């Protein structure tokens, strides 16, 4: 499903091999919480998707863990609001990040975090729409 959607929207994409359930469980232990179901579904099809110029349409599971642990490390506490309610999964290529809300939130809304002013703005109602808008230029960051 996810591969087909991205391939429908852009010719410039590179899919990685999918992750196994054990890798998902290890990531959830490292992060200290479950991953949103939509993200698990996506990663079980492809462990990351690179777009034009290497843009991270979806980071690999390793990148997701590393980036989120880095932002939650406390290093940025003096500068930004807490990142704990968010799970970053992609970037805009300009320092801004895209995130899902963590469970138990069941809605799939995608948010954009602006690295310059620390705003967290609603970007799309779900990941599929996020890609449709992002890859067709409707979503501006």
**pLDDT by residue for the chain (141 residues), tens digit each?**
887 877 777 777 778 899 999 999 999 999 999 999 999 999 999 998 887 777 778 899 999 999 999 988 878 877 888 788 899 999 988 899 999 998 777 789 999 999 999 999 999 999 999 988 988 878 776
pTM of the model: 0.89
pLDDT for residue 109? 94
pLDDT at 12: 74
**Edge-to-edge order in the sheet of strand 120-124:** 86-91, 97-101, 110-113, 120-124
Q: Which two tokens stand for residue 54?
A: 């290497």
Alpha helices in the chain (DSSP H): 2-9, 21-31, 37-43, 61-71, 127-135
- CB-based contact 103:34 (threshold 8 Å): yes
Q: Are strands 110-113 and 120-124 parallel, antiparallel or unpaired?
A: antiparallel
């Amino acid at each position: 499903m996810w591969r087909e959607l991205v391939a429908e929207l852009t010719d410039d994409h590179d899919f990685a091999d999918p992750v196994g359930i054990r890798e998902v469980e290890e990531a959830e232990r490292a992060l200290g919480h479950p991953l949103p179901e939509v993200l698990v579904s996506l990663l079980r099809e492809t462990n990351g998707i690179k777009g034009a110029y290497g843009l991270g349409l979806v980071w690999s599971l390793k990148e997701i863990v590393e980036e989120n642990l880095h932002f939650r490390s406390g290093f940025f506490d003096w500068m930004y609001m807490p990142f704990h309610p968010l799970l970053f999964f992609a970037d805009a290529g300009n320092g801004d990040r895209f995130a899902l809300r963590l469970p138990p939130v069941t809605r799939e809304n995608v948010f954009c975090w602006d690295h310059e002013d620390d705003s967290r703005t609603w970007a799309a109602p779900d990941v599929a729409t996020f890609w449709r808008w992002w890859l067709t230029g409707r979503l501006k960051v």
